[in-house]
């Protein structure tokens, strides 16, 4: 399943990780300061190593970010 990943950066408020699944459902969470690089790294590693059951794979399967 495809997953659209957005990191919505704010200057005055925490950034938000916003993920939209292929079926249109969404999950999102506020990020701790400077955690954007950590989440991007997750994406790169999971794609490179073809992990389908890691963080973003589980989100695309319907799990909610708050479960983590």
pLDDT tens track for 13-45? 999 999 999 999 999 999 988 889 999 999 999
pLDDT at 1 over 70: no
What's the pTM?
0.86
Rounded to an integer, what distance in angstroms lies between the CA atom of residue 14 and that of residue 41?
19
What percent of the chain shows pLDDT beyond 90?
79
Tokens linked to 20:
């939209």
Q: Which residue has the tokens 């999102």?
A: 28
> Does 59 have pLDDT greater than 70?
yes
Residue range of the domain that includes 13: 3-67
- How many domains does the chain divide into? 1
């Amino acid at each position: 399943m495809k997953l659209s990943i957005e990191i919505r950066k704010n200057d005055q408020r925490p950034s938000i990780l916003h993920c939209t699944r292929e079926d249109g459902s969404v999950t999102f969470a506020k990020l701790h300061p400077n955690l954007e690089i950590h989440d991007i790294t997750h994406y790169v590693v999971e794609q490179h190593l073809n992990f389908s059951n890691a963080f973003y794979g589980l989100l695309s399967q319907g799990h909610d970010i708050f479960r983590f």
